[in-house]
Chain A
């Protein structure tokens, strides 16, 4: 747990340093959406954000990342979904996002995050950036064999947390210091 006595930017720095080591080796069932979202919530340091409900609601997003529709549409990387949820919590701060301007700000930030993520990794789609269609169990074996988590996916998580921090700096200082 990140200390809430330090300023919020330092807490993000420490979290990212810690995660670089901690998530290097994936534990079975490692979930990029949970890792992204829960670690952002952890930095925010509020007791009520430790609820298992936040973990559970993020759990399906990597699976949605594996979805491929009949017309070829592919689901977004779970890390992106976890980061978007984090952006909403940060921007809302201590109250419900209800005003049009706040909704707009949260939505614009979602778009901005997606643009930056795609710029860095070339795509938003799970299958494109990790290189595997993970709905196929054979591909999952390849994913493991080629250390794809260490080589690719953990870097999506680290980038996403840092990017959320960068683009919500103002709200972080205002609501979460």
Chain B
């Protein structure tokens, strides 16, 4: 998922360029079966961070199940979170931790940022849950999801917004730990 955006020096410029790049590259993935919003969100943020170790395919792989978790509904009606949200939350932890194991003193900051992320995401789209956001039960209505181009119409926007929100909420850490 590497791109040429990393030739630009300022990390915030790189985030902006990444989102613009995704606006072109991401919608066509809707025509490809086997598409993970969680993996797109996490790996594209890691691409902006521009560290060799973060190119490892393990980051893509660990994120993929979170898209499936989004489709989960339990007997009590609890619905799984949007994969873009889970991917973004992982990225927040990784960014705040920086180049060493997260400083225990910064754990409350991670907490604050996660809650802020979830609040802002919910405010923007009306929910955190995949079902509510895309309006379908993907365990039963995946063909409708494809036929009605929900990826292109809705899900890509969750990814763009999640990436932008992560960059805004972790601004200070991006500046100091990911120069």
CB nearest to B86 among chain A residues: A81
For chain A residues 83-97, which have a beta carbon within 8 Å of chain B? 84-89, 91-92, 95-97
Q: Does B118 contact A (CB under 8 A)?
A: yes
Q: In the complex, are the beta carbons of A56 and B66 less than 8 A apart?
A: no
CB nearest to A95 among chain B residues: B57
Of the candidate stretches B2-10, B15-23, B31-39, the one touching chain A is B31-39
Contact of B74 among A75, A110, A118 (CB under 8 A): A118
Q: Does B100 contact A (CB under 8 A)?
A: yes
Q: A67-B118, A84-B65, A96-B57 known; A114 and B72 CB under 8 Å? A: yes
How many B residues touch the partner, as a band? Answer: 35 or more
Q: In the complex, are the beta carbons of B79 and A73 less than 8 A apart?
A: yes
Contact of B76 among A49, A67, A123 (CB under 8 A): A123
Q: In the complex, are the beta carbons of A67 and B68 less than 8 A apart?
A: no
Give the chain A neighbours of B69 by CB distance below 8 A. 76, 80, 84, 107, 110-111, 114
Max count, chain B CB within 10 A of own CB: residue among A71, A109, A114? A114
Q: Does B152 contact A (CB under 8 A)?
A: no
CB nearest to A31 among chain B residues: B107
Give the chain A neighbours of B115 by CB distance below 8 A. 63, 66-67, 135
For chain B residues 98-112, which have a beta carbon within 8 Å of chain A? 98, 100-102, 104, 107, 110-111
Q: Does B97 contact A (CB under 8 A)?
A: yes
Q: Does A145 contact B (CB under 8 A)?
A: no
The 10 closest A-B pairs by CB, nearest first: A107-B68, A100-B34, A56-B97, A92-B61, A110-B65, A110-B68, A103-B34, A96-B57, A100-B33, A85-B62
